[in-house]
Structure 1
Amino acid sequence: MPFVDYNSGKIVKIWEGISGTIAHSDQATYCRFTIKDGIILPVHSHVHEQWCHVLEGELEFNIDGEKKLLTAGMSAYIPSWTPHSAVALTECKVLDCFTPVREDFRELEKNAGL
């Protein structure tokens, strides 16, 4: 699987207002998500390291108490188990990369479209 076409992949709903296409390697999960305007991602943490890169829109991140407004071309790095949250100030398009693989996302993919 050296190439991925996110334009033709199955759309997976992650949370209310957050959906997109997902790909997995043996070590990582890579996602292209749309986050609807006004969506609040509540404080959470997970074993996965996460990179979130904003392609379009304005996304206010809070990572372990440090807030930053991310716009197109900016990224956030979230270490494993670090509490984080975000608010979409506009509709956003983001690329998220997680390591290790998000097995919970694999399960969401299996159930998408049922």
Structure 2
Amino acid sequence: MPFINYNTKKIVQIWDGISGTIAHSEQGTYCRFTIENGTILPEHSHVHEQWCHVLEGELEFNINGEKQLLTSGMSAFIPSWAPHSAKAFTECKVMDCFTPVREDFVELERKQVELE
């Protein structure tokens, strides 16, 4: 499947205030998320390298204690196991890319399909 249409994929609720569509390759997970205004993502870390690219909105990231307000056209790179958190100052549209595959997101998708 060389092409993905995020407009027609099922929306998955990731956390409170964060939802979107997800695709997986053998090596990574690619997501188009909407983050609601005021959403706070508490500090956490994971094995995955992550790129977060802001398409719309204002999203502040704290990565290893370094803060940056990201706006349209800006990206954050989060190394494997780096503690990070985020806060949406407006509704945001982002593309997140994770390596390796987010198996927890695969499981979330599976569970939501079972509930339908």
Distance between the aligned counterparts of 2:8 and 2:36, measured in 1? 20
Distance between the aligned counterparts of 2:103 and 2:71, measured in 1? 29
> For 2:97, what is the secondary structure of its paired residue?
strand
1:48-77 deviations in Å (ceiling 9; x for gaps):
000000000000000000000000000000
Distance between the aligned counterparts of 1:55 and 1:63, measured in 2? 19
Instruction: Structure 1: give runs of 5+ residues left out of the alignment.
Output: none
The answer to whether the 8 A contact 1:11-1:112 is kept is: no
> For 2:8, what is the secondary structure of its paired residue?
coil
Distance between the aligned counterparts of 1:89 and 1:112, measured in 2? 28
Instruction: Give the superposed CA RMSD.
Output: 0.6
TM-score of the superposed pair, with normalisation by structure 1: 0.99
Distance between the aligned counterparts of 1:35 and 1:9, measured in 2? 17
1:102 aligns with 2:102: yes
Runs of 4+ aligned residues of structure 1 deviating over 2 Å after TM superposition are none
What does 1:35-46 correspond to in 2, within 5 Å?
A: 35-46=35-46
Q: Shift in Å at residue 100 of structure 1? A: 0.2
Distance between the aligned counterparts of 1:5 and 1:11, measured in 2? 12
Instruction: Structure 2: give runs of 5+ residues left out of the alignment.
Output: none
1:13-41 deviations in Å (ceiling 9; x for gaps):
11001000000000000000000000000
Aligned to 2:64: 64
Distance between the aligned counterparts of 1:79 and 1:85, measured in 2? 13
Q: Aligned partner of 1:32: which letter?
A: R
Distance between the aligned counterparts of 2:9 and 2:19, measured in 1? 12
Q: Shift in Å at residue 111 of structure 1? A: 1.5
Q: Shift in Å at residue 112 of structure 1? A: 1.8
Distance between the aligned counterparts of 2:88 and 2:111, measured in 1? 26
Aligned to 1:88: 88
Q: Aligned partner of 2:11: which letter?
A: I
Q: Aligned partner of 2:75: which letter?
A: S
The answer to whether the 8 A contact 1:10-1:112 is kept is: no
